[in-house]
Amino acid sequence: MALYRTYRPASLDAVVGQDHVTGPLRRALENDRVNHAYLFSGPRGCGKTSTARILARSLNCAQGPTPNPCGECQSCLDLAANGVGSIDVIELDAASHGGVEDTRDLRERAMFAPASSRYKIYIIDEAHMVTTAGFNALLKLVEEPPDHVRFIFATTEVDKVLPTIRSRTHNYTFRLVSAKVLAEHLASVCAAEGVPADPAALALVARAGAGSVRDSLSILSQVISGCGPEGVTYAEAVAQLGMTDGALLDETVDAMAAHDGAALFMVVDRVMEAGHEPRRFATDLLERLRDLIVLQHVPHAVEVKLIDAPEDQVAREVVQAAAFGAAELARAADVVSEALSDLRGATAPRLHLELMAARLLLPASDADERGTRARLDQLERRMSAQPPAAAAVLSPASVPAADTPTITVAPEAVRVVTDSTPAPAQTPPAKPASTGRAPRKLSEVTESSAPKAQPPEIPAAVAVQPTAVTASNTSSDESGLAEMRSMWPAVLDALKTYSRVAWMAFANSAPISLSNGVLAVAIDSAGTAINIRSSGHDERLRQAILDVMRRDVKIDVVLAPNASGAAAAAAAAPTSAAAEDAPPAVVLPPIEVDAPSIDDEDAVEESGVDLVMRTLGATQIGEIQH
């Protein structure tokens, strides 16, 4: 006989995990306040029908109504697990007896007195299968039954039961049983059967039962029938149930934490080569990520029974949860959940698992908020894991005037010209006049109405002094600089939301050094650098970095290696005759520029229409002739 039939509960005390139902029923029997109709609802295999039979046995016991049937009278013997049944306790399956004719027949038979028992009890299983006409035919009988009739309805879909029937019954909702309670019950069954069982294997069986006592006992019966003399072992349970080994899940999570792509793809290969069901693996991984998320937010989750797992597994999960940020785990759970949906009916499950692994390793694949938060979590964990940077030993430098913007020339990007004569500024060639009617220039529109602003005076370049930097400071700054460079596109995107003009000024910029909280940003034009300082664009960039990387740095604008020689010479030109003894001019080696800066002559000469189209992304749809 199957275990779920052998160990069917025979009393209210033997019902597993439903104390919120058995307690009120016990008190109702003790006080002789039993209602004429009950409605038991809940998931399958949780004890609804068993409790209905126990209630019928308690009502018809010779010593009853009592919560503890004697088990010796004829009624108790007939209603026992291996009894022949009682003519006064009628079980009906509404799936096959839910029509209006069946209901009318029941209504006629209910009028006859019980043959040998106290009550005639009708147990109607799968009550939601009764048709509307059948419920309507039964309604009057349920509302005002004879004194010797009791009804017990059992259903898994209580919302399909006619509301008028529900309103005339006492409703009790059965719940799924926790894995811990199920494992303890399975251990007692194994002890009664004389079969040794590994607690970890019983935990797997309880998890496979998904909270259903009947399903768990059925699975345990299968495992016991196929196990060897050593009893129910963890390996045997994993093999028979197709569950994912806990060690495999540990390897998966560790590879995710270490961003080890090789290890993660090897896990996927082992899953497929071993013949595991891909959806089962994804489901088990999602459950593990759920446990890690709960442990991050509720450190005492085991004590409050939010997590049902062995102590050694919980200890490993605590360590794993500490290796992730909250946003990282939430995003990983979303990725696995989406992959679980994609795997349903997939023709290439291995490909879907590998794509899931790739997305888990690459937060940048998500351009939405969750991907950004995951990247921030990674950066914060990396920065918190780094040792504090050693203080850099720098030589004293001249302090410029407070009201004058300064331009710093990057030491590693300059070369000293031996000729002290500054190179003459090249005059841009004049453009040929167009034969057609050209649109009015933006400078022509504003020239007549606004006074000409004097260009800001460029101060003399500060002589670059040799700087001594310790090795430890260099290494720590390089790691932070590498992170800054990797996140620079995201920083510029954030800057674009603050000010499009500021974004244009920094469009061709790049971070070149980071020291003592000062970030040097290379700009390819001296005029652009002065404009950045005078207009406050550097503060907007600072705020963008703070929003994206959660790091507050001071912005220092420097001339990039791709600045033209004329611009560097102009920045370093003396402003008076007394500056003739100044150090030789600093000239930067020109390199090919990908895109023109906003101070190039082409940008100055472009028309107002072109400027609007380039800056705001507008499209010219026509031109009005004056």
**pLDDT tens by residue, 473-505:** 444 567 778 888 888 888 888 888 878 878 888
468 or 185, which is more confident: 185
CA dihedral for 359, 360, 364, 368, sign (positive or negative): positive
* Same domain as 152, residue 17: yes
What pLDDT does residue 387 have? 46
358 or 578, which is more confident: 358
The per-residue pLDDT for range 370-406, each reduced to its tens digit, is 556 555 655 555 555 444 443 333 333 433 444 444 4
When pLDDT is averaged across residues 3-22 and rounded to a whole number, the result is 89
249-253, 255-259, 382-386, range with the lowest pLDDT:
382-386
What pLDDT does residue 384 have? 53
Q: Is residue 400 part of a domain?
A: no
When pLDDT is averaged across residues 188-203 and rounded to a whole number, the result is 88
Q: Is residue 319 part of a domain?
A: yes
Length of the chain: 626
Angle between helices 488-498 and 471-486 (to 10 degrees): 60
Q: What is the number of alpha carbons within 13 Å of residue 594 lying toward its C-beta?
A: 3
The residue among 154, 173, 192 that closes a domain is: 173
Which residues pair with residue 302 across a beta bridge? none
Bin 443: left if φ > 0, else alpha if -120 < ψ < 50, else beta: alpha
* Same domain as 267, residue 149: no
* Same domain as 199, residue 85: no
**Which domain range does residue 318 map to?**
246-385
* Same domain as 299, residue 205: no
Q: Would you say residue 613 has pLDDT above 90?
A: no
Looking at every residue in the chain, the average pLDDT score rounds to: 75
Q: Is residue 396 part of a domain?
A: no
What pLDDT does residue 452 have? 43
Number of domains in the chain: 4
Helix (H, G, I), strand (E, B), or coil: what is residue 153?
Answer: strand
What pLDDT does residue 576 have? 38
- Alpha-carbon Rg of the chain, whole angstroms? 40
What pLDDT does residue 5 have? 85
The per-residue pLDDT for range 203-249, each reduced to its tens digit, is 888 888 888 999 999 999 988 888 888 888 888 888 888 778 888 89
SS (H, E, C) 230-248: CEECHHHHHHHHCCCCHHH
76-85, 346-355, 474-483, range with the lowest pLDDT:
474-483
Q: Measured between alpha carbons, how far is 143 from 147 in angstroms, rounded to an integer?
A: 12
For residue 255, count other CB atoms closer than 10 A to its CB.
20
Which residues pair with residue 126 across a beta bridge? none
617, two tokens? 């992304």
Residue of 556, 524, 531, 558 lying closest to 542 (CA atoms): 556
Q: Is residue 611 part of a domain?
A: no
The residue among 187, 219, 241 that closes a domain is: 241
* Percent of the chain whose predicted confidence (pLDDT) is above 90: 17
